[in-house]
Amino acid sequence: MIPPTGPTMRHLTIVVVCKVIDNLGDAGFCLRLSRRLATLGHSVVMLHDAPATLALLYPTAECSSLLLIDARSSWQWPTNGAESNSEPDLILEPFGTSSHQTQTRFDNTLKTRFPKTPWLLIDYLSAESWIEDFHLRSSVEPSTGHRSTYFYPGFTAQTGGIVHGDFAQSLWSPPAVRCHRIFVFAYPHAPLDRLINHATQEQAIVVSGRAPQDPALRTRVQMQEFVPQSAFDALLLKHDLLFVRGEDSFVRAQLAGRPMIWQIYPTDDQVHLEKLAEFFNLYAKGLPQTTRDWWWQLWRCWNGAEPVDIWPLLWSHMEEHWPVLCTHSQHWQQHLLNGPELVKEVLTWVESQAPTNQQ
Ligand code: TRH
């Protein structure tokens, strides 16, 4: 096993509680976090409820110190291996603030069995400014005395940052001088057919997931097979412009240093559009006003917040703004790579922890 490296040299046994609500992002983030911790030399047990999703993201075991356990029915704490007799040093629950949405309550079993283990609830990534005040605040469950601490991933120095320690900078190359290779990973409501219809002959569109609705447009795109998560960065880097969604692909597109258009996960109360704007305001700082206004319209249109009829006109300005967008994306990439790294922040936090149960 590789000796642990990073902010702590102590070998830790870490449990990641992975409860999937939908799609790929919950499992995708948990897996990325777990793989990174295991690669740093820690023993990681990921308890999950989504074997089919994980088989897609992680078809072959890559890290010997990462153990995936399907915890949908009864499960046992491992009886062999480094973690067998010991209590975990840390329990991480990504998206734990939404855990009422999942039926499997393996977290309760863990709380009962390991009441003193530091427990970190990692929330959704956000660009909202309030998260800076709430990052690393704790709350105690009155009936059990169990303490949870809230960890907020984000884009500024006062947040928990993003996972970027696993980004292979050696893979990086600049985007092409023209926007020729376009990658699309989108939710079904994105105006994909418009994009394809109005792309130029030189623009090759690669689509992962749902094919265009109009069968006549299917010959115009190349369908991309799902690749394991460990190959996803390399896939993004083969393209110039990246359409991404959710949380993890959105982060990887930013790390790729490519112009990107984010389709945010939609919520019924429309709050997602405010969150989209919060991120865009941060991300677009420094862009010339005309580029910024045009780019924001395009983002809104892709997210269904503008009439799709304006797409062709907006798209026709792509080449004019392309050089500025490329430079800007690379500055943003550097901003992120120089900012807090989520896994390091988690490890630094756990070193400062006393047992969580007050009783
Ligand atoms: O799948 P997503 O839309 O995930 C979500 C979920 O809706 C979730 O409930 C919500 O919490 C979250 O978004 C914000 O998109 P995301 O986050 O980009 O996850 C996709 C994962 O799939 C990511 O880890 C990258 C990975 N992936 C591959 O590994 N290979 C591929 O070929 C592709 C297309 C994606």
* Rounded distance from Cα 246 to ligand 1 centre (Å): 6
pTM of the entire structure?
A: 0.94
Q: Is 247 in the pocket of ligand 1 (CB under 6 A)?
A: yes
Q: Which CATH class, in words, describes the domain spanning 169-337?
A: alpha beta
Domain 6-162+340-350 carries which CATH code?
3.40.50
Domains 6-162+340-350 and 169-337 belong to one CATH topology: yes
pLDDT bin (cut points 50, 70, 90) of residue 109 is confident
Q: Is 57 in the pocket of ligand 1 (CB under 6 A)?
A: yes
User: Dihedral of the CA atoms 200, 206, 208, 214 (nearest 10)?
Assistant: 40
**Cα angle, residue 39 at apex, residues 336 and 10 outer, rounded to 5°:** 100
- Which residue ranges make up each domain of the chain? 6-162+340-350, 169-337
pLDDT tens for 50-63 read 999 999 999 999 99
Instruction: Give me the pLDDT at residue 359, please.
Output: 44
**R_g (Cα) of the chain, nearest Å:** 21
Query: Which of 100, 73, 82 lies closest to 42, judged by CA?
Result: 82
Instruction: Give me the pLDDT at residue 21, please.
Output: 83
Instruction: Give me the pLDDT at residue 104, please.
Output: 61
Give me the mean pLDDT over the 162-183 stretch: 95
Phi then psi dihedrals of residue 218, to 5 deg: -65, -30
pLDDT bin (cut points 50, 70, 90) of residue 355 is low
Q: Cα separation of 65 and 200, whole Å?
A: 48
Which atom of ligand 1 lies at the shortest distance from residue 187's CA? 3
* Rounded distance from Cα 186 to ligand 1 centre (Å): 10
Q: Is 265 in the pocket of ligand 1 (CB under 6 A)?
A: yes
* Rounded distance from Cα 102 to ligand 1 centre (Å): 18
Q: Is 115 in the pocket of ligand 1 (CB under 6 A)?
A: no
Please say if the pLDDT value at position 11 is more than 70: yes
DSSP 281: H
Q: Cα separation of 42 and 189, whole Å?
A: 40
* Contact (CB, 8 A) for 175 and 258: yes
Q: Is 206 in the pocket of ligand 1 (CB under 6 A)?
A: no
Give me the mean pLDDT over the 195-210 stretch: 96
Please say if the pLDDT value at position 105 is more than 70: no
* Rounded distance from Cα 64 to ligand 1 centre (Å): 24
Structure tokens given for 101: 């949405």
Q: Is 27 in the pocket of ligand 1 (CB under 6 A)?
A: no
Q: Is 249 in the pocket of ligand 1 (CB under 6 A)?
A: yes
Give me the mean pLDDT over the 62-78 stretch: 85
